[in-house]
Amino acid sequence: MKYYWIVALFSISVASAQTTSERNVFIITTDGFRWQEVFSGADPDLLSDINRVADTALCKQLFDAPTPEERRRKLLPFFWSVLAAKGQLNGNQNYQNKVQVANPYKISYPGYQEMLTGKANSRLSPNLPINNPQTTVLEYIQSLEGYTGKVAAFSSWNIIPYIINEKKAGIPVNSGYEMLVEEGDTLNALINQVQQSIQPAAATRNDMLTYSAARNYIEKSHPKVLFLGFGETDEYAHKNQYDGYLQKAHQFDQFVADLWYYVQTDPFYKNNTTFIITTDHGRGKYARSWNSHGFWVRGSGDIWSAMIGPDLQPSGESKTNETRLLQHTAATVLQMLGIRTTSNPALSTLTLKRDANITPIPAAEIQILGNKIPQQNK
């Protein structure tokens, strides 16, 4: 088994960074969505469970099929048409291809913290409104010339502003049922009206509202780096409603499809934008535990990732025996933007095109937690 380590350390001066500013990156997540559904589609046993599916016959019509390949296409048509043909998908454990979280807790705050800082925090960070003391890749990029005012975040979960540490980072973050800036924007005004009508407001906003707000911001402001986090897959899983979980996963696929079509038809984003798509944690691997996750729930650390962009080799579904980590995300963002640091190069195991307009970042070794680990060839 091969382990590819990536680390991004951000305690460096702005002057030591080099950038390729024409590149854009969107980090897109859906909370607590299992690798099993990504690669095999709806679970036939859970589809038949009347305690978890309100209308098993209808749900089967929507998402069931004789083979895993057919089921996954019904659930995630964009993933298994466009992404599979033009991008990269990792985490199918049926081939011993793994993506895992490195933090031991396997809940949301540590997951997003690991994702955005490039380091798993061994100290427990509960899912509470506590400002993250670590610098995120978003804050670091925001500090670079050419990116100030061009980094933003939208999320359904209302704890994301604290993980990004919004005020310290100086990045606009809209999360939960937070009101949007209107200033004559009729769509934002309409979204605000809908948000105000939802009482009581939960910790996780309806994903459709999050997407509508983010899409409007993207069209108006053209951020170069965007974090877009959806949350209702996790919400329905915790309610043990497998049908709702599948519907929200299908909706997530539609959001990604719509956004990819938009960026490929907008001159600002066309052919220079990469999507990095993943989740913050897994879930229980068995039918009895699928709705749970955490330190004691087996399977909670097993996740997946997908990417599509102009500089990536369209290798599709990875079937090689290797392991990647969620903490690789931060360095991958820097890699795809062409950002290098002279003191701590961000390394990546990406399969790039030969003519990719990104300079590979050479290094003989990778330093992790003070221990030098020889880089392994892919």
Q: Where are the domains of the chain?
A: 2-374
Q: Residue 15 in 3-state DSSP?
A: helix
Question: Domain 2-374's class?
Answer: alpha beta
pLDDT at 367: 26
Give the separation between CA 316 and CA 89, rounded to whole angstroms.
Answer: 6
CB 355: neighbour CB atoms within 10 A? Answer: 7
- For 47-91, write each residue's pLDDT tens digit: 999 999 999 999 999 999 999 999 999 999 999 999 999 999 999
- For 294-334, write each residue's pLDDT tens digit: 999 999 999 999 999 999 999 999 999 999 999 999 999 99
Give the separation between CA 1 and CA 115, rounded to whole angstroms.
Answer: 23
| Across 41-50, 75-84, 150-159, 361-370, least confident range | 361-370
- For 98-133, write each residue's pLDDT tens digit: 999 999 999 999 999 999 999 998 888 899 999 999
Q: Which amino acid is at 247?
A: Q
Element (DSSP H or E) covering residue 86: helix 84-86
- Alpha helix stretches (DSSP H) within 224-297: 232-238, 242-263
pLDDT at 22: 86
**DSSP for 112-169, written as a single string:** HHHHHHSS--SS---SSS----SPPHHHHHHTSTTTTT-EEEEESBTTHHHHHTHHHH
